[in-house]
A = this chain, B = another copy of it.
Amino acid sequence: LARIALDAMGGDHAPAAAVTGALLALRDFGGSDTIQLVGRGDVIRAEVDRQLATDFARLKSEAKRIEIVHAPDVIEMTDKPSVAIRGKKHSSMVVGLRLQPEGLSDAFVSAGNTGAQMAGSTFILKLHEGLTRPAIGTMFPTMRDHLVVLDSGANVDCSAEELVQFARLGSVYAEDILGRKKPSVGLLSIGEEAEKGNAVVKAANALLRKARSEGINFQGNVEGRDLPIGASERGPIDVVVCDGFVGNVILKFYEAVAPMIFGVLSRHGVTQQQLSEALEDFDYATVGGAPLLGVRGVSIIAHGKSSPEAIKNALKVAARCVESRMSDHIGQRLAQSAAKHQGAA
């Protein structure tokens, strides 16, 4: 039974995509979950009514589980994140996030300004003990199954200790959301051997080997080639840890490379039907949203270009985070790690 706040004003196709995404998600949820559309009340109300009168008349009963939370202001894509969060107290982003500490909501989803969502989530939801930063965990389609790459953009210059924090966050995520038992963690580097990598990665390798004693299933270094395969020579990989610079470059590269290869193939006469079927495996809309890991609550980052389908899937990710109680598990995991290290010291 999750109450999910959705930023109705964020993203390139707001508010229409948000409203459609909410209706589709409520149909799929089927239960008694509710969605709180946060933004300009009159605009959202008009859009909901319009969609119920036209394309989605069949979803009238689902619409009853939509609640509108008025927020008159909007954080623009071009706004400076921390300035916007401090200055625009009545924006859909700030109002939507504040519902959680007020006990009125369980999760927040936005396709708006990602930097502002990160700053706002950290500021309003706060971080779990034992963390210096939150991380964005992104699903990567692989030959085997999805794996989680983190950080994929929140933090560009990371310390070795922060990479270990990402390993803890990613392990809980893979367990709670992907259902992996003892998820295996790989450290992204340029060679399998522990001594390969840049200075931070080499130090992180040593720390991660120690962290096996606290239950991190550290597999060792993994390489770029292991990502599309979803496994290294040592076995399947569930979580890949890297700093946000590398993670973001790889993520954006991946998003662009599949369409490029399909373009090449269609020049070679492969049919549109075959391509669009295959493309589903690579469509980021099927994944929908990436949770900002480490905050005390649920904050799901959706792509600015999100379609209604992508918004729907982001809402589903939010519901899964709430139902699995992932944020609590992260807090417990971090407390255990801290206790372990205090015991050892």
Contacts and interface: CB of A to CB of B under 8 A. Distances in A.
Interface of A: 142-143, 153, 156-157, 188-190, 197-199, 201, 223-229, 242-246, 248-265, 267-270, 274-275, 277-278, 281-282
A255 B244 CA distance: 22
A264 B245 contact: no
Contact of A156 (B198, B224, B256): B198
B265 A278 contact: yes
Nearest to A276: B268
A153 B249 CA distance: 16
Contact of A190 (B244, B258, B262): B244
Number of this chain's copies in the assembly equals 2
A270 B274 contact: yes
Given A143-B263, A270-B270, A225 B277 contact: no
A245 B197 contact: yes
A268 B278 contact: yes
A237 to B, nearest CB: 13
A57 to B, nearest CB: 35
Contacts of A265: 265, 270, 274-275, 278
A264 B198 CA distance: 33
A198 B270 CA distance: 41
Nearest to A158: B198
Contacts of A142: 260
27 contacts: A142-B260, A153-B190, A156-B197, A189-B245, A190-B244, A190-B249, A198-B243, A198-B245, A201-B245, A223-B252, A224-B253, A225-B255, A228-B257, A228-B259, A228-B260, A229-B260, A250-B250, A253-B254, A254-B257, A257-B258, A257-B261, A258-B261, A261-B262, A264-B278, A265-B275, A270-B274, A270-B278
Contact of A245 (B244, B246, B256, B278): B246
A227 B253 contact: yes
Given A228-B261, A261-B282, 5 more contacts: A143-B264, A225-B252, A250-B250, A257-B261, A270-B274
Contacts of A268: 274, 277-278
A64 to B, nearest CB: 40
A7 B195 CA distance: 27
Contacts of A251: 224
Contacts of A199: 156-157
Contacts of A197: 156, 245
B225 A188 contact: no
A187 to B, nearest CB: 12
Contacts of A248: 190, 224
A224 B249 contact: yes
Contacts of A281: 264
Contacts of A263: 143
Nearest to A249: B224
A4 B332 CA distance: 62
Contacts of A157: 198-199
A269 B260 contact: no
A224 B256 contact: yes
